[in-house]
Structure 1
């Protein structure tokens, strides 16, 4: 398992935590750092305290810096933008608080859901490479889209090897029409589910398949006793945001993502 070492700045002027993102560093071959929980307490003095993080990033040769913080922290966002960070996206976090009370989907015998087989990994990776074009690694003009495709393909492979997660594929007419990466957790006697990645294959988009597939996976979690269901979605993905509203989800919170740095094309064969 890749190690995550979190460092913290907590002074009268500034609070922030940061760490190198080992999975992205491994994929891109260039160090990626992430900052979280930035809070300006004395903006006029914060620059001095932030310089410690910047020295740390420079010493490690960090190529891309990512900052995630509550979207309502406009003062912090403006402060970061003045230092070369660029706003990339707002992430929303849908929650279905009582999955057991949600109405089940209609019977849909044409669409089946099952675990991905090992020999299907490359096909599911190909779907992932094309499916997340509204995510930050595709829409940031300072990042080569090739890197976004590599990141999501690697995500699928890592999840397939993670015993805590399951890669589910939806089959329609003998073809893989989409996939979900899901994780179920037991806490205080209650089961909850989290969707890491969700996608409909490009060849099946525009057919109204999304709602059918989302309901099918919801029904699976309900039958397995899950009480709550959570996920995350980029604000740039408007059709899926609307879908979550139609399915009865509410949005718990919103999180802004900012980037600083450049990731050029990967040197791939």
Structure 2
């Protein structure tokens, strides 16, 4: 998977760093972009400086821009809202340590996913995801959101530094976890889901504890993840098993060519 190329737009009152997202091009059939940092140095000229970024988006045919701000960047949030960005969610990045306290689950198996699990994982993703920033944004919608999640999970099978774990119950794969390695003793959880028929039975909590035990056996000392304020079920389970939550980030969207779910974009 190609790595993004960081670019900078700066001028009176405003400085942005941003990049195109090559991993999204096939899903969106066009470019998306991320603003990684926003710094206001004053109010005079900020809108004019942003116009240069808008031109960059138009030149690159960027269909969707996402931007994450620190929770206390309220001036930047107000500026971007005035320029067409929409508030979508608060994004949390909790972490857990002391993995030795998590015992194995005698009924659940955790193991590296195989190629035979690949279509199972895709089917679970396609039928399970209902929350997330793309699903919540009425200018994007759940169809694109689900397609992006399916592609993300599928790419994890072949992307260097990423991997997929399968969770089995009674000899059947019922769930999964995609991971990113952050050094020999750290893992980042990315995507996971339970099919609707397994929800509401406490299996998510048991599965995540079993995965943490698996990580401890690997020598992992810390696990991090990301969770949306829209996903209250996952939020509560993570808190219940000991994840600690720092201050959130503000997540915003902007569609330079208008809503992605309309057929007559400019």
Instruction: Give the alignment of 1:115-134 within 5 angstroms.
Output: 115-134=112-131
State the partner residue of 1:255.
249
Q: Which residue of 2 is the match for residue 197 of structure 1?
A: 191
1:38, 1:232 → 2: CA distance? 21
Distance 1:116 1:21, change over 3 A: same
Q: Distance in 1 between matches of 2:181 and 2:6?
A: 26
Question: Which secondary structure does the structure 2 equivalent of 1:226 belong to?
Answer: coil
SS of aligned partner of 2:201 = coil
Query: Contact (CA 8 Å) 1:147, 1:265: kept in 2 or not?
Result: no
Aligned to 2:66: 66
Q: Does 1:42 align with 2:36?
A: no
Counterparts in 2 of 1:144 and 1:249: CA distance versus 1, 3 Å: closer
Q: Would the aligned equivalents of 1:7 and 1:17 in 2 still touch at CA under 8 Å?
A: yes
Are 2:207 and 1:207 equivalent residues in the alignment? no
* Residue 146 (str. 1) matches residue 146 (str. 2): no
1:227 corresponds in structure 2 to 221
Confirm whether residue 81 of structure 1 aligns to residue 81 of structure 2.
yes
- Per-residue CA distance 1:209-267 (angstroms, 9 max, x = gap): 0111000000011111111111101111112111111111111331111111122279x
Distance in 1 separating the partners of 2:70 and 2:59: 28
- Structure holding more strand per residue: 1
Residues 1:97 and 1:108: Cα distance change in structure 2 (over 3 Å): closer
Deviations 1:140-176 (A, max 9, x none): 1111321111111111111001242221111112332
1:13 maps to which residue? 13
- Superposition RMSD on alpha carbons, in Å? 1.8
Could you tell me which runs of 5 or more consecutive residues in structure 1 were left unpaired when the two chains were aligned. none
Pair 1:66–1:184, CA change in 2 (3 A): closer
* Deviation for aligned residue 1:12: 5.2
- Which structure 2 segments of 5+ residues have no match? none
Query: What TM-score, normalized to structure 1?
Result: 0.90
Separation (CA, whole Å) in 2 of partners of 1:144 and 1:91: 18
Aligned pair 1:185/2:182, yes or no? yes
Contact (CA 8 Å) 1:142, 1:264: kept in 2 or not? yes
1 CA distance for matches of 2:181 and 2:85?
35
The yes-or-no answer on 1:104 pairing with 2:90 is no
Q: Per-residue CA shift, 1:62-120, capped at 9, x if unaligned? A: 111211111221111111111111111111001114334xx123x42221112222122
Deviation at residue 42 of structure 1 after TM alignment: 0.7
SS in 2 for 1:79: helix
**Partners of 1:126 and 1:2 in 2: how far apart?**
26
TM-score normalised by structure 2 residue count: 0.91
